[in-house]
Chain A
């Protein structure tokens, strides 16, 4: 493990920001700390950087306990949420700052800065001031500045929060490629699950100062271990009496179930693809249709329960009030501490498996596209 946190606790007054936080990160990995605001993810990042001191517990970087080592000597690069570029310095001086502090010879500084300008595609911008740059360019400068002193660990605090939606997607890809190219171990904080899933190779989900689950994006998605992760990832609906739904039996030990849109399929009663499983379906009435750009989001009333599903734009037209057939493939039953996947029993009897599950993760739509 390259970075290790052991039993970290941290409070700010009455607010406990970290509770028994422990995890390890392999060298070279790209990790997301994912959680809602106030879940303690930024505090974890700042403690690794040395900007905050844990009340108890150990932080280990590259085999050495760094709790008492000042931030500047931990060999980390830090990208701040709003980049914190030095506004009275040019792009060049921003990137060169850390090297000047280290008293590197001028020639070498110039070489390194030029190298970084090239790497980040900022060549020609070195004389500009931060307020003359776009949000994306600022992020690149912040990235180059953090990398300049050749840190062993890169920490990024909400690196995309300050960028408008259109450029954000492009920058995610850029940052991921850049980090993989440089090969630096990186941890970034985000509250955006799409961002975490798309960029990271490993996700650490935080909630109320605790680590909820650690795993690869797909694992977090398909095998949520706790009620929180189940609810936080995707667009879930919580239903207490999930026994009402066809193919499921409510067990007393669970307080309810979480249903995700991707496990709900709605189709017209004359749909031939579904004719084998038609009698596993139940009736649902469309109550609302939302256009989501690449797909439609349908709200369906199924026996008094409101379910959400996505529908490809290529499929036949549907309208509000239309009666559809609905099949739920899977729900996540939850008790107080854990989540358990429950499969549709009727489908299981017919040996209909989730062979389309894989496909779902790479598309924005349901299992069957007709």
Chain B
């Protein structure tokens, strides 16, 4: 008798927990995102398209894509290197390195932006170095308030994503399979390709996607380093500029531009799930 009531209790708990989860996700995430899409179309589809077609938006889109690509590329490479170093070797300062990697998680992106200004700006300690390079090579590289600054800021804030996904997986998998392959004469890269990569590919992809999504939407750090609309603005900055300009048209336009980011993020998540699903079906490994 008591057993039965217990089971009923856990059934009720299950229903309550599931309901809370769905309600919360719905109210906090889904409804606001949908309202963006709805608002973006409030002045008709023609207006929607024309507000996406301005040269400010297309410039912002280009820079966003550039910054995102740079962030994903750099942080994937760095993430692989760092997670490998942290899980496969023991060395002095391991704990310190592991903590340092997490800094972007814990400090405000604006501070990251300001930090780059303090480093590369006119008063910054690295400014003479940049100047020296420019003089020597005859170039005119600017970092602060220019595209390189936007890239750096984006890379900074998305720094830990890939390595944080990889480290637990590499730790859990151990090194037995790699050792076995090495004993049979396999060399470093071929071990990575045939043994390690298949084990970490989903974590890697997931880390890259998180990195991608975060880079796409970065505002604070880029805001500190980017001041020219149509030249160094990314989509989030463009959205902000449109919204703040205050006219009814520009507010709807800002929703329209926002919808690009939402749609891109949703597409990426769907692609990831499809890929993962297909792969699992193929190898029979769950």
Which residue of chain B has its CB nearest to the CB of A132? B284
B177 touches A72 (CB 8 A): no
Q: Complex: how many Å from CA A65 to CA B179?
A: 22
A129 at interface by CB-CB < 8 Å = yes
Contact of A72 among B182, B283, B285 (CB under 8 A): B182
Q: Which of B181, B184, B190, B194 has the most CB of A within 10 A?
A: B184
The A/B interface has a contact count, at CB < 8 Å, of 58
- CB distance A80 to B180 under 8 Å? yes
Interface string of B147-183 (1 = CB under 8 A from A): 0000000000000000000000000000011011111
Q: How far is the CA of A102 from the CA of B198 in the complex (A)?
A: 22
Interchain CB contact under 8 A, A86 and B176 = no
With contact pairs A80-B176, A84-B180, A86-B177 given, residues A129 and B185 touching in the complex (Cβ less than 8 Å): no
A60-94 interface code vs B (CB 8 A; 1 in, 0 out): 00000000000111001010111011111100000
Q: Does A254 contact B (CB under 8 A)?
A: no
Query: With A and B bound together, what is the CA distance between A19 and B51 in angstroms?
Result: 78
Could you tell me the distance in whole angstroms from the C-beta of B121 to the nearest C-beta in chain A? 47
Number of interface residues of B (CB under 8 A): 18
Q: Which B residues have a C-beta under 8 Å from some C-beta of A?
A: 176-177, 179-186, 190, 194-195, 198-199, 283-285
| A97 CB-CB contact with B under 8 Å | yes
Do B176 and A82 touch (CB < 8 A)?
Answer: yes
Task: Say whether B198 contacts A98, CB under 8 Å.
Answer: no
- Contacting residues, chain B, for A145 (C-beta < 8 A): 180
- Residues of A contacting B176 in the complex (Cβ-Cβ under 8 angstroms): 80-82, 84
Asked if B184 and A97 sit within 8 Å, CB to CB, the answer is yes
Minimum CB–CB distance for B190 against chain A, Å: 8
Pairs A–B under 8 Å by Cβ, sample size 11? A72-B184, A78-B180, A80-B176, A82-B176, A86-B177, A86-B195, A87-B285, A88-B199, A88-B283, A97-B186, A149-B184
Verify A78–B183 contact, CB threshold 8 A.
Answer: yes
Question: How far, in whole Å, are A101 and B181 apart by their CA atoms in the complex?
Answer: 9
Chain B residue nearest in CB terms to A80: B176
Does A300 belong to the interface (CB within 8 Å)?
no
**Beta-carbon contact of B177 and A129 below 8 Å:** no
Say whether, besides A101-B186, A129-B283, A132-B284, A86 and B179 are in contact (CB < 8 Å): no
Query: Bound complex: CA of A101 vs CA of B193, how far in Å?
Result: 13
A98 to B184, CA, bound (A): 5
A98-B184, A98-B185, A101-B186 known; A84+B285 contact, CB < 8 A = no
- Residues of chain B within 8 A (CB-CB) of A85 are 177
Interchain nearest-CB distance for B183 vs A (Å): 5
Q: What is the distance, in angstroms, from A150's C-beta to the closest C-beta of chain B?
A: 12
> Judging by beta carbons under 8 Å apart, are B185 and A101 in contact?
yes
Q: How far is the CB of B201 from chain A (nearest CB, A)?
A: 9
